[in-house]
Amino acid sequence: MADMVTIRSDLPLDDAATGIQTGTVGEPSVAASSSGFFVTGNWFATHSEDSGASWQFLDPFTELPADKGRFGCDQVTLRVGRLWVWLLQYEPPGPGKGNIQRLAVSTTGRPGTWRWWDLAPTDLVPSWDKVWFDFPDLGLTRKHLYLTTNVYDLQDRWVRAVVVRWPRSGLTKAGPLPHEHWTTTTAGSLRPVAGAGTAGAGDTMWFGSTDLASSSLRVFAWPDSSPSVTQWSVKVSPWDDGNYAATGGAAEWLSRADDRITGAFRLGSHLGFAWSSGRRAGRPHPFVRCAVIDESTLKVVAEPDLWSATGPWAYPALARTVSGKVGMAAYFGGGGKPALAVGSLSGFPPRAGVVPAWDMATVATSSHSPLDGKWGDYLTIRAHPSRRTSWVAVGSTLQGGTNRRNLEPRVVVFTA
């Protein structure tokens, strides 16, 4: 039986909330408490303490010092216990230098209340003095906060991926924050799984990456109790990473699309991963590839792709609710005007005679296409912390024009 998706609240962010510091490559992220939100995007941050009735803008360029480089672009936010967590990526302070990613925490989310720790490549390996971080994400387990990020050289060539973890207990204390790290040169853009509740993904962080050449997922596990990471290769159905161009005269909005995993969850013994694929046989437009894996056997148990005969789907984000349902936020672009949609996976967990399928509802549709054809690179969905059957998502549409100032982020609370 299909799920009925119900939008509980739809909260567009106005110019005062974003400082008009928006971009069509919006990369929005959201964290939620029982009555508040913290939202980030390119290039703004904003906070609400009254369920979105009012917002307080925070400027990422000036809220924290620029002593180790100017704020750049990527941000991720997460709720960890009673803390708002804010990750910011900075530009290198000069030619031939690496950058930092800054982990900041606050109990209120208000301006002037943040403590932070900086992480440079040389903090992991002293010889990494001519590389820089990019494309971060955060994940949570019972004992650790995890950061995944790519590492590039000064010629902007990918070098490796890194996973860093900090003890959650250290986030509440002043002083140095100890960390561990693991790195790989065989898989990039690692995506940590999302859990729900105070324990996050449980006692083990799983993360994944696509391997187009072998039609496989690279899947990794790092238990809280172990210093070691274990990895597997899991065969999945093929996909395309080069056929994202618009068809039928539609305006372009997927010129930046690729097959990096942008959504992942852990629920019971199941791991789910989702990413954007170019069109291929049986899929007339770009679509969302999704694979669900049994973590005990490391075998695929379902592949509930999201596709349409009328337009492309892309940039999926995944999360599970506290009650155990899987949700998605993604963009749909029939006619070249990206729309924000949210929904849930019916027929899950997989069982005999039932095929899992996505039930999606459109939240808002852009009035225009992006001027330069660029959108993405990700959006965000989280489990609602106090409503067991609800999610909180953030995405964007263009309203009233084609350039970055017309971007309208919106926070959506929904259930299914």
Q: What's the pLDDT tens digit per position in 90-137?
A: 999 999 999 999 999 999 999 999 999 999 999 999 999 999 999 999
Give the whole-angstrom CA distance, residue 166 versus residue 168: 6
Amino acid of residue 69? G
Confidence of residue 311 (pLDDT cuts 50, 70, 90): very high
Confidence (pLDDT) at 82: 96
Mean pLDDT of 386-399: 98
pLDDT at 408 over 90: yes
Report the phi/psi class of residue 156: left, alpha or beta, with left for phi > 0 and alpha for psi in -120 to 50: left
At 250 the pLDDT is: 80
User: Phi first, then psi: what are they for 264, rounded to 5°?
Assistant: -160, 145
Structure token digits, residue 331: 């963009």
Q: 187-227, pLDDT tens digit by residue?
A: 999 999 999 989 999 999 999 999 999 999 999 999 999 99
Segment 153-177, tens digit of pLDDT: 999 999 999 999 999 999 999 999 9
Query: What is the per-residue pLDDT for 54?
Result: 98
Residue 358 backbone dihedrals phi, psi, to 5 degrees? -90, 135
CA distance 350 to 372: 41
Tokens of 127: 């010889």
pLDDT of residue 210: 99
Distance CA 85, CA 117 (A): 11
Q: Are 121 and 111 in contact (CB under 8 A)?
A: no
Is pLDDT above 60 for 1?
no
In the prediction, which pLDDT does 50 show?
A: 98
pTM of the complete model: 0.97
The answer to whether 200 touches 139, Cβ cutoff 8 Å, is yes
Both tokens assigned to 12: 């567009």
Domain range summary for the chain, segments of one domain joined by +: 6-415
The closest alpha carbon to 152, from 58, 72, 50, belongs to 72
3-state SS track over the chain = CCCCCEEEEEEECCHHHHCCCCCCCCCCEEEECCCCEEEEECCEEEEECCCCCCCEEECCCCCCCCECECEEEEEEEEEECCEEEEEEEECCCCCCCCCCEEEEEECCCCCCCCEEEEECHHHHCCCCCCEEEEEEEEEECCCEEEEEEEEEECCCCEEEEEEEEEEHHHHHCCCCCCCEEEEECCCCCCEECECCCCCCCCCEEEEEEEEHHHCEEEEEEEECCCCCCEEEEEECCCCCCCCCCCCCCCCCCCCCCCCCEEEEEEECCEEEEEEEECCECCECCCEEEEEEEECCCCEEEECCCECCCCCCEEEEEEEECCCCCEEEEEEECHHHCCEEEEEEEECCCCECCECCEEEEEEEEECCCCCCCCCCCCCCEEEECCCCCCEEEEEEEEECCCCCHHHEEEEEEEEEC
Express each pLDDT in 333-363 by its tens digit. Answer: 988 999 999 999 999 988 888 889 999 999 9
* CB-based contacts of 282, cutoff 8 Å, min separation 6: none
How many Å apart are CA 144 and CA 165, to the nearest integer?
A: 6
Q: Let me know: does 73 contact 59? Beta carbons within 8 Å.
A: no
| Torsion angle of C-alpha atoms 337, 342, 348, 353, degrees rounded to 10 | -50
Say whether pLDDT at 277 is over 60: yes
| pLDDT grade for 62, boundaries at 50, 70 and 90 | very high
Question: Residue 77 pLDDT > 90, yes or no?
Answer: yes
Stretch 356-372: mean pLDDT = 96
State which fold the 6-415 domain adopts.
Methylamine Dehydrogenase; Chain H (2.130.10)
First-last CA distance in the chain: 12
Q: What number is the average pLDDT over the span 262-284? A: 97
Answer yes or no: is pLDDT of 233 > 60. Answer: yes
Mean local confidence (pLDDT), 79-95: 97
